[in-house]
Amino acid sequence: MAVEPNALADTHAASVAPAGHAPLAARAATPWWRGAVIYQIYPRSFLDSDGNGVGDLPGILARMDYIASLGVDAIWIAPFFKSPMADFGYDIADYHAVDPLFGTLEDFDRLLAAAHARGLRVMIDQVLSHTSVEHAWFRESRESRDNARADWYVWADARADGTPPNNWLSIFGGPAWTWEPRRRQYYLHNFLDAQPDLNFHNEAVRAAALDNVRFWLERGVDGVRLDAINFCFHDKLLRDNPAKPASERSGRGFSADNPYAFQYHWYNNTQPENLAFLEQLRALLDGYPGTAALGEIASEDSLATMAEYTQPGRLHMGYSFELLTEEFSARHVRATVGTLEAGLREGWPCWAISNHDVARVATRWGGAQPGAAQIAQMSALALCLRGSVCVYQGEELGLPEAEVPFAALRDPYGIAFWPNFKGRDGCRTPMPWDASAKAGFTSGTPWLPVPPAHRALAVAAQERDARSPLQRFRAFVAWRKRQPALRGGAIRLLDLPEPLLGFVRGSGGDEILALFNLDADPQSVVLPAGAWQTLVHAGPDAGRIEAYTAHLPAFGVLFARGD
């Protein structure tokens, strides 16, 4: 269903406020982002307001009441900036402009005001490490070796035989270098060749990047999600990355046919100079009280990098891909959380089990046909770990990964590696609002097809079912908000046998025991020492306590408070 932009403007006129950063009416003593639930919106696929088949900012505005009804604390909006869309917005041509595909700056201001009126914070993506080849900076830089921005990107001479300067590889396949005949040099791109890397060793580049962030802080955003933030700096000596043995090539989310997995990426990202830049960025944010930075981190040891990047004076939060992989077991979750907690010290994590770059968690962890109980448990698990949590649109509905035929693929990553790896389109299909042919997403032709299985899980249908994944999600988020131990307490992991995962959250007089049965068969386990009283919770299927033993149903959860 298309939404008339003018009607939207009239509907929300009372919510519109002047641009500029202003705190929400009521701010708690604890920073809002600590323990927050952040709802990620991929704007291309949320709601189309003008019938062109692509979601937009007015579409997000039209569904602001739905977002608020989830009980989340904030929204994170993926890139909506001016872009040729080689990587669907992560190749930015103008950091200060909204791409006409998504609307206007005025649309963004209305969206921001409407969110704030409902008590929602707004975070936006910032892609600092690279731009589009269409950015004015790169168009100037590529022209010659002596122009004003000649050193704003990573340029290097060819080796004597004409090949690239080193062996660095692009995540999207092949060399990370592309030849530019005008300069007779190669430029670096860790992603697509349409995404040249900026040279952060240049002070002017760092200042320009901070100015781009400042532009949006001045408009009133409450935070920034920093895409690939550990990729800002490269090794100035351009040293070759060492080879990685075949036994170590899996586990970081790369398919076996991607040569990127064949190297230790020690020199093309995660350089020590980045720490000083993060401190500059934090100083900027500290000038806008109530704002926060969330860094996406993908390094050879992402958990160690998270701990380093979230130390005091750097990023407020960090998240990595350890719970975005195919592996799912109590052992894996316990090891991931335990490793991070051991090194994190004063930092604050943010967990995600789905996003716009990986297969949806309902399929990745749940298998072919996960039921409502299993889906509810997966969300509850993420929401109970120490830290904040990002929830990807449609995760609350239990949407499975979509099967997108090759002819309909749009993701250059998937097109390059098809058929072994089908890319990211399967998690980016339109949000299903109703059961109609186009799922209430658009009146035109959707940019990606809507799978029939998603229409059956549409918001309209789940609103009517008290035990649907949507209603369970809402209920659990509301219950979690009333549990300070789950929002901000410490975590102590329990050593339990598979398929049981358990931990204690909180400290002192407020401790909550959380137990999860990750199996389709009921499980029982003796409770840890202490006097535990069952807590009645909402959402996932509940276990019970009898004679110092916890009994959990299939994909069940038990919460208990210690006396």
Question: Which is nearest to 380 in space by CA: 215, 269, 236, 538?
Answer: 538
Distance CA 67, CA 64 (A): 5
Distance CA 93, CA 138 (A): 9
Q: Between helices 469-481 and 372-384, what is the axis angle to 10°?
A: 30
Joined together, the tokens standing for residue 336 give 């991931």
Catalytic status, residue 296? yes
DSSP 178: E
DSSP 438: T
Catalytic status, residue 222? no
Residue 277's identity, in one-letter code, is F
Per-position DSSP letters for 475-509, written without gaps between them: HHHHHHHT-HHHHH--EEE----TTEEEEEEEETT
At 362, phi and psi to the nearest 5?
Answer: -60, -35
Cα torsion at 436, 438, 443, 445 (round to 10°)?
A: -150
Q: Where are the beta strands (DSSP E) in 49-120?
A: 74-77, 81-82, 94-98
Please pick, among 296, 341, 395, 425, the residue that the annotation labels catalytic: 296
Please pick, among 99, 227, 322, 425, the residue that the annotation labels catalytic: 227
- Answer yes or no: are the C-beta atoms of 234 and 264 closer than 8 Å: no
Distance CA 202, CA 82 (A): 24
Question: Which is nearest to 392 in space by CA: 421, 422, 429, 367?
Answer: 429
Distance CA 59, CA 64 (A): 9
Per-position DSSP letters for 191-259, written without gaps between them: S-TTSPBB-TTSHHHHHHHHHHHHHHHHHT--EEEETTGGGS---TT-PPPPB--GGGSSSSS--TT-G
- Answer yes or no: are the C-beta atoms of 409 and 425 closer than 8 Å: yes
Of all helices (H) and strands (E), which one includes residue 188? strand 185-188
Query: Which position has the token pair 């005949």?
Result: 181
Could you give the residue numbers annotated as active site? 227, 296
